[in-house]
Amino acid sequence: MAESPTTTYYDIPLLKRPLWRWEIAWYFFLEGISSGTYLLGVIAELLDRERNQELVQAARYASIAAILPCPPLLIADLGRPERFAHMLRVFKPSSPMNFGAWALTAYSGPVALLAGSQMAADKSRLLPSQVRSVLKHVPERLTGVAGVPAALAMMAYPGVLLSTTSIPVWSRTRVLGALFACSSFSAAAAVLSFVLHYRDADDRLLRKLRKVELLASGAEGVALAGYLLTSGGGAKPLISGRYAKHVFIGAVVGGILLPALIGGKGKRRGLFAAALTIAGSFALKWAVVHAGRDSADDAAGSHEAALPNESATGWKSKYRVSGT
Amino acid sequence: MSNVLEVFARPEPPPAKQEMGFFTDTSLCIGCKACEVACKQWNQLPADGLEWTGHSYDNTVMLSDTTWRHVAFVEQFDSKGAGRWLMMSDVCKHCRQAPCQEACPTGSIIYNEFGNVYVQQDICNGCGYCVAACPFGVLDRNEEDGRAHKCTLCYDRQKDDMEPACAKACPTDSILFGPISEMKQHAEKRVEQLHARGETDAYIYGAERAGEYSELNSIFLLKDKPQAYNLPEAPRRPAAHMKKSYAFSFGAAIFLGAMSALLLSGDE
């Protein structure tokens, strides 16, 4: 542990508060469910379209339903909403936000086509018959696979976006991206489990899906522990701050432990377990996004997170030798 | 419609010129705030309100979307009243590899022909990423116009071969402006001079690369730890570990996808 700073400047924050609010917490939650259900749907379809029929159908509808509110949320978050298209003015992988805007653009096509194709197959009245007859010809497997890289990117980038900032609670770890990806995946599996339980799907399919839920929840737990441990003092707003209850009661107890205990034993318990997992994932993302503000407000904490280390040396050392 | 499409055009940038920057010598600052006033006047920035902080003569508190020069007043006195004043005119650091520029998703933030970090106001859509990215807390979004603002290093004045308003107004030459190579030489000399006089606490902040963080085009002579002036001692470059973060998160997503395929394919 390096020496801690002796003084701050009247305890005035070093950093500016991140501006992102509920829109972005909801966005990360919904786009995670969308990309996760998309991936599970494509996997199920490639494995066995016939036996996984219900899962594939639920995944296609869930992925489109969860992604539809996302563009309005992102646009509402901007200081100049009418300039949303400026995001696609450049292709700039050094900016995870630009990468995410392109990923969302690339993802929107396949997710809409698969949902449309499903609606055509289900003879949905929401679509005019001419449109349905066109959508019947969508090559489903090809479209599904084509959207996989974009769906993976949608799972992977949100946590990395937060990590690539100067806010201590987000940026002192390398595993926030992995945590968000795991949380998205477990929420997505829970959404599918909820729908299939509700519709009294085949028991064998429910049992398999239960295993996926447990795996993803377990991974989320491991990633969360890794995130909190590798963040050092940066994780303070989440460990002892006002968002600690979201993390420990919401995400850990409600989202991971309880569903593992009560799920897998009948319809009502299955529904309840899935709902808890979904809520836990939301609590986690809500807490992490909002904790950025508390983290930036903590003047001493921000200075402590900017003390010299091996890769960031600072500028004072050169003159300390000749100085006092 | 033409306005909407115009921003997608990518005109040829002006040819690069000599890199220009600030050297702010805090040992000469007398806390007159002429730089703050000149900056506000030239850049037509609104006042911050007449509110007293109560802790010092500092009433603008920090750099913000409407305060691009900020004079910090550090009072270091013991109970007997002995001690010193430290005053520093803070400004955007114009990092050579700027986290705000790397974060900006629209390409609004650029390095201009003078090597300064500049927010193109016709492009910025107010996403707020630069605000969270800056390790010095310089940028902020203006809630009235919805865009991010910070020091332009008087780009408009430089185009007409004039020095920035703050440097022009500084009565003690605490704020110097010129080619950054000259600023660095000058700063070295000044430190040597102060050390020779026994002021061995003087040092330069930002003149060379500090590990993962780039050198600054706006350097400072300081006389106490950076924290005393509300500067980070060793700023991190947010993008330094981005690839590793991506590797972990893509790894997690692919692992979960592959394991799910195994679990879903099993015949029990």
Rounded to 5 degrees, what are φ and ψ at B127?
Answer: -75, -25
**pLDDT at residue A2 is higher than 90:** no
Q: How confident is the model at residue A265, as a pLDDT?
A: 82
Q: What's the pLDDT tens digit per position in A57-70?
A: 999 999 999 999 99
When pLDDT is averaged across residues A124-136 and rounded to a whole number, the result is 92
- On chain A, the residues whose CB falls within 8 A of the CB of B206 are 315
Inter-chain contact A178–B72, Cβ cutoff 8 Å? no
Inter-chain contact B99–A323, Cβ cutoff 8 Å? no
Which pLDDT band holds residue B268 (cuts at 50, 70, 90)?
A: low
Q: How confident is the model at residue A1, as a pLDDT?
A: 36
CB B202 within 8 A of CB B222: yes
When pLDDT is averaged across residues A199-222 and rounded to a whole number, the result is 96
- On chain A, the residues whose CB falls within 8 A of the CB of B229 are 9
Which pLDDT band holds residue A86 (cuts at 50, 70, 90)?
A: very high
Q: What percentage of residues in chain A have a pLDDT greater than 70?
A: 96
The pTM of this model reads: 0.95
When pLDDT is averaged across residues B210-239 and rounded to a whole number, the result is 96
Q: What's the pLDDT tens digit per position in A262-306?
A: 988 899 999 999 999 999 999 999 999 999 999 999 999 999 999
**pLDDT at residue B218 is higher than 80:** yes
Read off the tokens for A20: 């992102």
Q: Could you tell me the CA-to-CA distances from B104 to A72, B125, B247 in Å, in that order?
A: 20, 10, 22
Report helix, strand or coil for B89: strand
The B residues from 161 to 200 touching A (CB cutoff 8 Å) are 191, 195, 200
The answer to whether B244 faces chain A, any CB pair under 8 Å, is yes
CA distance B160 to chain A (A): 30
With helix as H, strand as E and coil as C, how does A162-205 read? HHCCCCHHHHCCCCHHHHHHHHHHHHHHHHHHHHHHHCCCCHHH
Q: How confident is the model at residue A322, as a pLDDT?
A: 42
**pLDDT at residue A4 is higher than 50:** no
CB B152 within 8 A of CB B119: yes
Q: Round to whole Å and give the CA distance between A135 and B160.
A: 60
Inter-chain contact B134–A174, Cβ cutoff 8 Å? no
* Run of H or E residues at B42: helix B34-43
Q: How confident is the model at residue B253, as a pLDDT?
A: 98
Q: What percentage of residues in chain B have a pLDDT greater than 90?
A: 88
The B residues from 111 to 140 touching A (CB cutoff 8 Å) are 123-129, 131-140
Amino acid at B134: C
Mutating which of B249, B254, B255, B262 best tests the A interface, going by the most A Cβ atoms within 10 A?
A: B249
The answer to whether A215 faces chain B, any CB pair under 8 Å, is yes
Average pLDDT, chain B: 95
Inter-chain contact A40–B131, Cβ cutoff 8 Å? no
Q: Could you tell me the CA-to-CA distances from A324 to A5, A125, B198 in Å, in that order?
A: 17, 80, 10
Strand pairing class (B20-25; B175-179): antiparallel
**pLDDT at residue A8 is higher than 80:** yes
| Whether ipTM exceeds 0.85 | yes
Which positions ≥6 away from B92 have C-beta within 8 Å? B63, B68, B117, B136, B138, B150, B151, B153, B218
